[in-house]
Amino acid sequence: MSRDSGWAVRAGTLMAALFTSFSCLASWAETIVTPSLMLVINSRCEEGVVGCEDMTLTMVVRQTGETVLGVGRALHVRLADGSPGAFSGYQFLMGGGDKDAKTHVTLDPSNMVRLAVNGTIVLSEQGEPYSDGGVVPRSKPVEVPVAVSYRSGLLANGLVATFKNISGSAIAVTAEIVRPSTGRRQAFELVINGGGIREIGELEGWAFVSGDIVTVSQGGSGPKSVRIP
């Protein structure tokens, strides 16, 4: 089983279990999906109650499957007599409802999701309603932050491939090189400092020629492939 398919099975099993358990507790449930998150909102108030104060949120990070639980309430504009008026969204405290919790999630009526840590908004994404049996839609991994280019070898045969880390932190990547014309392949492990450059050429064990394909991969990021023209 591939890593992606294994993740999908685990995530699907997790969400199915969550939906099953909440079905015994919730009067209704709503699922909102953003590019980064899946949010399962559950009300434990009787159907028709305005301004429910007994709600739960299951937040799933789509990239990793990490799950965080929270408790909260529905928000309504207060009328002059103090009764709840128009619906204005949801607010949740993450981490079990501890009043000292520092992470909050809010949703407005348009399903705009905001996640704040210590009062600072760290994520703001538009959400959309989602219903597919609790299976978490996986987001596309962020592409590995390495720019690949090539140059002529100065003191060696063939071309030299250049790998530039375009992030600010050191990363470890795998560069797999394939020569389709012969089937030859070789993998190189590279550690590149933030903003730094590593090179592979004949002196490192591979003299590049036209048609060679380089695929750079890193755990948690999408691979990047470049064909030498």
- pTM score: 0.48
**CA gap 91, 56 in Å, rounded:** 10
Interstrand relation of 184-192 and 171-179 (parallel, antiparallel or unpaired): antiparallel
Residue 3: which pLDDT band, with cuts at 50, 70 and 90? very low
Would you kindly state where each structural domain of the chain is located, as residue ranges?
A: 3-129, 146-227
3-state secondary structure of 169: coil
Taking residue 217's Cβ as centre, other Cβ atoms within 10 Å add up to: 16
Q: Give the CATH superfamily of 146-227.
A: Immunoglobulins (2.60.40.10)
154's tokens:
């100065």
Q: Which helix (H) or strand (E) holds 19?
A: helix 3-23
3-state secondary structure of 185: strand
**CA gap 9, 15 in Å, rounded:** 10
Query: What are the pLDDT digits (tens) for 82-108?
Result: 777 788 899 999 875 445 558 899 999
139's tokens:
């987001």
Residue 211: which pLDDT band, with cuts at 50, 70 and 90? very high
Residue 30: which pLDDT band, with cuts at 50, 70 and 90? confident
For residues 40 and 18, is the Cβ–Cβ distance under 8 A? Answer: yes
| CA torsion, ordered 219, 220, 222, 223, to nearest 10 deg | 0
Phi, psi of 152 (to 5 degrees): -75, 145
229's tokens:
């023209």
CA angle 143, 2, 211 (to 5 degrees): 50
* pLDDT score for 118: 82
